[in-house]
Structure 1
Amino acid sequence: MPDSITTIGFDADDTLWQNEQFFRLTEARFTDLLKDHADTENLPARLLAAEKRNLGLYGFGIKGFVLSMIETAVEVTDGRVPSSVIAEIIAAGREMLIHPVEPLPHVKETLEALHGTFRLVIITKGDLFDQERKLAASGLGDYFNAVEIVSDKTVATYDRIFRHHGDGPSKSLMVGNSLKSDIVPALDAGSWGIYVPHALTWAFEHHDKPDSHPRFREIIDLGGLPDVLQTLGE
């Protein structure tokens, strides 16, 4: 174990627990709701465009997703979307906000193995209330020394968090499923980045792998994290 690593940051959604699958299921439900009212062939692209357009206003998370679905429904129906469809979209959002939390494989045993040896920090985007709810429902909160729920993940974000909760980016490591949000900005801040791919990743989070970066690693699931930590610095 390299002595230089003192702090490990973890993304939450689709790194510690399932998340994107519920967005995909709700999007399918959204398409079904609109099939009798509009051409749904380009609906996913229209919805994604609305989500990207609204990130600066609503931020990341379910509430912004629901508002973007409503906006898209109004747009693609030229304002003729029935109120019953809007009600169904709101209901779908509520269901997402109360859905049980499902930790991913090997998460608990990995956190148990690392807790007490490293400072563990959750670094996640999204709605404050929803992320706090999911953390409480996950049963994983006691493993972490700190929780940072941020509006976005940038180089400055990782620099600030790893200086505040650790010994700076160079002695820190970020683990996550998003190359764009979890890995690349953390590497640019000077930390290590451990990529854990998830079967479902939002299109907004896609990015080329920084394979040539000396501090980039990839593992199949979180169960491989303790072993890869042993190889850092070799």
Structure 2
Amino acid sequence: MLIFDADDTLWENNVIFERVIDEFLDWMAHPGLDRDGVRAGLDGIEAANAVTHGYGSKVFLRSLAECLAWVRGRAATAEETARISGWAAAFDGDHVELIPGVAETLAELARRHELLLLTKGDQEEQERKVAASGLTPHFKGVHIVAEKDVATYEELVRAHALVPGSTWMIGNSPKSDILPARSAGLNAVFLPNGNTWVLEHSELDPADEKVLRLAAFGELLHHF
């Protein structure tokens, strides 16, 4: 069984958030606080909100509003709130940008193996992206979860009667895709994405032989 992450593994996602963040940091220009300082503050706010409110564009926009209040020492004005709300349009629509090689590689892998999709975030938002991708027919099942931790992978193993030692989790996030999957006894494929969210970064054990590191999605065909 091959299990695939979605955002930033099958299609680009965080790059959209980063574009908005760049605009936000320009807007928050502050004589006593440089861009790195504002970004560090935003990262901390996002990390806290992820624990309490989960993931997705709605939580992200909430974090921007809280960061603005932190930088300016007051709540956002109606005009500022409207500007932040306007960024919601960046996450609307029925189109996702597939990462090169994904469509043809998944089509071939689906002929060779059973595939599952495992993604975390807002249910409605993730459902929309999955549908827009056009990739659903390749998967035996699609699972949208609030968090991807060890318990999530263990539950997936039980639900599909998987054999951990012959199951592979494929994704771009060390924190959500690789480390918890390995802790649950699964093998893993790490596919780095230069746009991976900073809060998904984590160190991998270079000596772990059960983690396959690939440079491009299409390379999966050489191993599976």
Give the Cα–Cα distance (whole angstroms) in 2 for the partners of residues 138 and 26 of structure 1: 22
Give the Cα–Cα distance (whole angstroms) in 1 for the partners of residues 75 and 29 of structure 2: 13
Aligned residue number for residue 20 of structure 1 = 14
Aligned residue number for residue 163 of structure 1 = 158
Q: For 1:72-83, what aligned pairs fall within 5 Å after superposition?
A: 72-79=67-74, 81-83=76-78
- Per the TM alignment, residue 221 of structure 1 is displaced from its structure 2 partner at its CA by 1.3
Structure 2 residue ranges without an equivalent (≥5):
none
- Seq. identity, %: 35
Give the Cα–Cα distance (whole angstroms) in 1 for the partners of residues 144 and 12 of structure 2: 17
Per-residue CA deviation, residues 73-100 of structure 1 (Å, 9 max, x unaligned), is: 1121111543222211111023223373
> Is 2:4 the partner of 1:10?
yes
Q: Secondary structure of 1:123's partner?
A: strand
Give the Cα–Cα distance (whole angstroms) in 2 for the partners of residues 89 and 104 of structure 1: 28
Give the Cα–Cα distance (whole angstroms) in 1 for the partners of residues 106 and 76 of structure 2: 47
Give the Cα–Cα distance (whole angstroms) in 2 for the partners of residues 109 and 166 of structure 1: 28
Q: For 1:215-234, what aligned pairs fall within 5 Å after superposition?
A: 215-229=210-224
TM-score (normalised: structure 2): 0.93
Aligned residue number for residue 3 of structure 1 = none
> Is 2:104 the partner of 1:114?
no
Aligned length: 223
Aligned residue number for residue 102 of structure 1 = 97
Contact 1:74 1:80 in 2 (8 A): yes
Give the Cα–Cα distance (whole angstroms) in 2 for the partners of residues 180 and 225 of structure 1: 21
Aligned residue number for residue 232 of structure 1 = none
Q: Secondary structure of 1:115's partner?
A: helix
RMSD of equivalent CA atoms: 1.8
Structure 1 residue ranges without an equivalent (≥5):
1-6, 230-234
Give the Cα–Cα distance (whole angstroms) in 2 for the partners of residues 16 and 165 of structure 1: 22
Give the Cα–Cα distance (whole angstroms) in 2 for the partners of residues 163 and 111 of structure 1: 24
Which aligned segments of 4 or more residues in structure 1 are displaced greater than 6 angstroms?
none
**Which 10-residue stretch deviates more, 53-62 or 11-20?**
53-62
C-alpha change, 1:191 and 1:36, in structure 2 (3 Å) is closer
- Per the TM alignment, residue 11 of structure 1 is displaced from its structure 2 partner at its CA by 0.4
- Per the TM alignment, residue 33 of structure 1 is displaced from its structure 2 partner at its CA by 2.6
Aligned residue number for residue 190 of structure 1 = 185
Per-residue CA deviation, residues 142-166 of structure 1 (Å, 9 max, x unaligned), is: 1111111111111121111123124
Contact 2:94 2:132 in 1 (8 A): no
Give the Cα–Cα distance (whole angstroms) in 1 for the partners of residues 32 and 110 of structure 2: 52
> Is 2:148 the partner of 1:148?
no
Q: Secondary structure of 1:121's partner?
A: strand
Give the Cα–Cα distance (whole angstroms) in 2 for the partners of residues 179 and 226 of structure 1: 22
Contact 2:94 2:129 in 1 (8 A): no
Give the Cα–Cα distance (whole angstroms) in 1 for the partners of residues 188 and 75 of structure 2: 47
Give the Cα–Cα distance (whole angstroms) in 2 for the partners of residues 214 and 80 of structure 1: 50
Contact 2:165 2:187 in 1 (8 A): yes
